[in-house]
Amino acid sequence: MNTKSKKRFTFTLCMLLIVSAIVGCSNSGNKAEPSNTANGNAAVGNEENPYKEKYDPPVTISTAWGVDPALTFREGETIENNVATKWALDTLGIKVDSLWSVTDTNGAFATKMRLAMSSGQKMPDIAVVNDKLLAQDLIDSGMFQDAGALFDKYAGEKWKAAMNLDPGVWNAYVNDGKRMGIPLLDYAYNSDYLLWIRQDWLDKLNLQAPKTIAELEAVMEAFKNNNPQGLAPDKVVPLSVGFKTSMNTWMGDPSWVFGAYGTLPSQWNLAADGTLEYGSTNAGIKQGLIKLKEWRDKGYIPQEAALWDENKTSEPAVAGTAGIIPGPYWMSGWPLLDTAKNVEGAVWKPYAIPTGEDGTAMRHGTHFVNGVILINKDMKNPEAFFTYENYLFENLADPQEGSPFELGAFEGYDYALDASGNPLYLDDVPGGAITAPLRYFIVRDGARIPDAQFKALLNLAEGKEATTYREKEVIAQYGPETALAATVVMQQEDISKKDMFVGPSTKTMKSRMDYLKKIEAQTFNEIIYGAKPAEAFDEFVKSWKSSGGDDITKEVNEWYSNVAK
Amino acid sequence: MPQQQTLQPDDTSGTVVKLKGKPLFYYLIKQWPFHLMVLPSLVFLIIFAYLPMGGLVMAFQDYKPWLGLTGSEWVGFDQFRYLFEREDSLQVIWNTLIIAIFKMVLNLFAPFVFAILLNEIRKQLVKRFVQTLVYLPHFLSWVILGGILTDLLSTEGGLVNRLLTGVFGIQPIFFLGNGDWFRFTVILSDVWKEFGFGTVVFLAALANVNPSLYEAAEVDGASRWKQTLHITVPSMIPIAIVVGTLALGNVLNAGFDQIFNLYNSLVYAKGDIIDTFVYRTAILNGEMGFGTAIGLFKSVISFILVVISYRLAYKLANYRIF
């Protein structure tokens, strides 16, 4: 190549670059045009229902992603472009446009969202948020619209039915009487608890499962001083509970002890007069504290319960030195499955929460809301989002025979088909299964009907053959004991009390709640540890009320009377 | 040496007069390669240390992310008032001071003594081995150590309590559940974790002591102890002052990650410190204005203390850091 042709070559290359740049620009210009005309069409056809089963030409929904770090992808796919986005475009004519995505560790999604909000960046059409504070900030920012009205207009039957299981789910997102966000439904009863008891210990001691607190004490006494596993009394934890995080938690939860005296601590309960009352200031707490102190003195509960968090309470249970642990129905899978590995013949069975002398019992309930879906004020086709989600509720939430999701979410991802058309799961899927392709949908986990999983469990408990996808799934994931536990949870459905206050923090709460929680935890633990007499509880109630508690109660009831209408 | 003076004109007062005659950017232009080398760190400092200071206005606002720094409502000193109006705020500040001051003093004293002792070891291998061994804990995080300590100090079969009952016949001590013992545990475990790392600085100072001083002392018939007292300790005082002065800036930092991983509601009265308090009120509740206000408060106090200690160090020990 001589210099002349070299120069020519460079020149051509430059021209090519320039031309392609121009073409690229004009291309993006062209792109904008059709969407404009589509808007025009929508405006013209305003009288007819804009809601469609499938959109042609496709419409766009923009969103932003907080990607679970554990989520895996097939080669070449990302959260922006994967089997679920292709599916949405092919099946529904909906193009999912990702504004940004971030690996959601240490609350990165919330941070990025806040930054986007304060720097005035474009907000996504659909924001799925499970951080309560962020959700409230976004709602307060005024950038999102009345989602409740859209929901009433466009949501399908199945979705509406799921939402109606508890009309209270909207309460957290009501602002000035408007439902500003659509609650993201999750499975019900996930943190309702029961007592897991070592059945092999009961059998060897010839004891019945305790039905009342008094019977429970007899069982704990026998577990401790007459241990069937031959453990020395100081090595046994008859009842594994912990107070470190709260008196109202999930695993090793002590709140039912107070429930036997008619109240649940650290949550807002419905009082007899129809108002909301903070459970920790109810007189029943005092008796519960006296009982817990007695149990600690007798060595029924861990000596260091005040230092134990949830996971710590499961340690003696798994090691085989604990006799009873309160916890959710799914504990049979994790962590209690491992007990049998440590102690041969160890069997955990689920039992109902014991009642007090007068038959009272309470446990804390589970809100089946796991976040909120916010719809941007400026979203051009909000109905398209409902097309998307209605389809998932119809077909994916509880797939029956013949549903496109009958065998799983996507072939080649969470399941595969063998030569004769039978489904393969997990490691049998070529290239290994993607365990959670449901996370590829705009709304986390696609669509969940709160009672679907529990219904499946109850069906199985009755001895029904697993037929639907959901039933097969719970069998594969949890095992038979879980179905039994589900029935125990359901037997006591009426004692399950949810925290009635789900609204945004009130004004006084923001400034006073931490101090009130601090004196609450301090007083309760000091009474249980004998550092203060039980009378200290009355003083606590007095200072709780005068240090802002009365104002908070007033504000909470104002909120409640607004949403309860 | 007059020649040297002309080579480094900035060093002498005589040339300062000369400087006045020059235009402002004379040296900037003349010595531009040096200034260019300083530039990256200057930019770094401006971006990461000075610009964020603008955020301090949050301390005087009811900050809302969507309204931003310019749009949020001004509340004056409300955030500060709230800090001091809380019933337990004095207690929390007091806890912080006690824990931080004990940690500061012991973390200065322990490495000081340990460095002298370590320096007396003749065998280099033993010396290096011990030195590495004691500074290893510095690299462990409190999240891990918190779990280990909780197990070690447990009243039910914890190693320490078994030792106390078995060997000394003492009743088990609830280290993490009793306020006074909690402070003791927090301070001691922090010193255990950090003193090895602090020793490194003092060992470096010891290596710089002029050996001829020791030789002279030996000729004069000074014992090992006298040598330590009159040569080693005085020559370590300046570096101890530097370390102490720098540490004083941390007087309101009692160690968030340590306390957060060890405390529980039984020891709130004696173990709750400013940082855990801020974590609960400001971070968990998203009250950024309040968090900033406390940060500003801590910085101002630390700044005052650093200035005072710097002045004192100059006056008493005739030592200047800067």
- Residue identified by tokens 């203060």 is A532
Q: For residue A545, give how far its alpha carbon lies from the nearest alpha carbon of chain B (Å).
A: 14
In angstroms, the CA B75 to CA B60 distance is 6
Residue A170 reports pLDDT greater than 60: yes
Give the model's confidence band at A420: pLDDT under 50 very low, under 70 low, under 90 confident, else very high: confident
Cα nearest neighbour of A544 on chain B: B87
Give the model's confidence band at B287: pLDDT under 50 very low, under 70 low, under 90 confident, else very high: confident
H helix runs in chain B, sequence order? 2-7, 13-21, 26-30, 32-45, 68-71, 78-85, 89-119, 124-135, 142-152, 159-163, 179-207, 211-219, 224-227, 233-248, 256-262, 268-271, 274-278, 288-317
Q: What is the mean pLDDT of residues A422-449?
A: 85
Q: Is the dihedral of CA A379, A381, A382, A386 positive or negative?
A: negative
Cα nearest neighbour of A311 on chain B: B147
Give the total residue count for chain B. 322
Is B265 in Cβ contact with A518 (below 8 Å)? yes
Task: Determine the pLDDT at residue A13.
Answer: 56
Task: Determine the pLDDT at residue A12.
Answer: 58
Quick one: which of A495, A221, A254, A219 has its CA closest to A352? A495
Cβ proximity of B22 and B29 under 8 Å: no
- Asked if A536 reaches chain B (Cβ–Cβ under 8 Å), the answer is no
Render pLDDT for A224-243 as a digit per residue (tens, 0 to 9): 999 999 999 989 999 999 99
Residue A179 reports pLDDT greater than 50: yes
Pick the range with the lowest mean pLDDT from A412-416, A485-489, B184-188, B198-202: A412-416
Q: What is the mean pLDDT of residues B308-320?
A: 77
Residue B157 reports pLDDT greater than 60: yes
Render pLDDT for A181-194 as a digit per residue (tens, 0 to 9): 999 998 888 889 99
Which residue did the predictor score with more confidence, A206 or B87? A206
Cβ proximity of A285 and A518 under 8 Å: no
In angstroms, the CA A128 to CA A183 distance is 10
**Complex prediction ipTM:** 0.78
Contacts of B241 (CB under 8 A, 6+ apart): B313, B317, B319
In angstroms, the CA A442 to CA A389 distance is 9
In angstroms, the CA B249 to CA B245 distance is 7
Residue A19 reports pLDDT greater than 60: no
Give the model's confidence band at B153: pLDDT under 50 very low, under 70 low, under 90 confident, else very high: very high
Task: Determine the pLDDT at residue A287.
Answer: 95
In angstroms, the CA B149 to CA B160 distance is 10
Bridging pattern class, strands A178-179 and A174-175: antiparallel
Render pLDDT for A242-276 as a digit per residue (tens, 0 to 9): 999 899 998 999 999 999 999 999 999 999 999 99
Q: Tell me the two tokens of residue B97.
A: 């001071």
Residue A54 reports pLDDT greater than 70: yes
Cβ proximity of A220 and A302 under 8 Å: no
Question: In chain A, which among 498-517 make CB contacts under 8 A with chain B?
Answer: 505, 510-511, 513-515
3-state secondary structure B19-35: HHHCCCCHHHHHCHHHH
Q: For A249, which DSSP code?
A: -
Which residue did the predictor score with more confidence, A395 or B242? A395
Instruction: Quickly count: other Cβ atoms within 10 Å of residue B168's Cβ.
Output: 7
Question: In percent, how much of chain A has pLDDT > 70?
Answer: 90
3-state secondary structure of A471: helix
Q: For residue B92, give how far its alpha carbon lies from the nearest alpha carbon of chain A (Å).
A: 12
Q: Which fold has domain B78-317?
A: MetI-like fold (1.10.3720)
**Ordered structural domains, chain A, with CATH:** 50-185+370-449 (3.40.190.10), 193-364+497-563 (3.40.190.10)
Residue A38 reports pLDDT greater than 80: no
Instruction: Quickly count: other Cβ atoms within 10 Å of residue A300's Cβ.
Output: 24
In angstroms, the CA A79 to CA A441 distance is 9
Cα nearest neighbour of B71 on chain A: A118
Is A514 in Cβ contact with B280 (below 8 Å)? yes
| Range among A172-176, A181-185, B246-250 rated most confident | A181-185
Cβ burial, residue B28 (10 Å; 0-12/13-18/19+)? exposed
Pick the range with the lowest mean pLDDT from A16-30, A252-266, A522-536, B14-28: A16-30
Is B268 in Cβ contact with A505 (below 8 Å)? no
Query: Which residue type is seen at B146?
Result: G
Is B155 in Cβ contact with A525 (below 8 Å)? no
Contacts of A252 (CB under 8 A, 6+ apart): A240, A241, A242, A308, A310, A312, A313, A314, A325, A326, A327
Is A514 in Cβ contact with B286 (below 8 Å)? no
Pick the range with the lowest mean pLDDT from A15-29, A411-425, B225-239: A15-29
| Identity of the residue in B82, B177, B281 whose CB atom sits nearest the CB atom of A307 | B177
Strand partners, A326: A195
**CB-based burial, A219-236: b 16+ in 10 Å, e otherwise:** bbebbbeebbbeeeeeeb
Task: Determine the pLDDT at residue B214.
Answer: 92
Chain centroid, CA A450 distance in Å: 10
In chain B, what are the domain boundaries?
2-57, 78-317
| Range among A121-130, A424-433, B83-92 rated most confident | A121-130
Q: What is the mean pLDDT of chain B?
A: 86
Residue A451 reports pLDDT greater than 80: yes
In angstroms, the CA A135 to CA A110 distance is 9
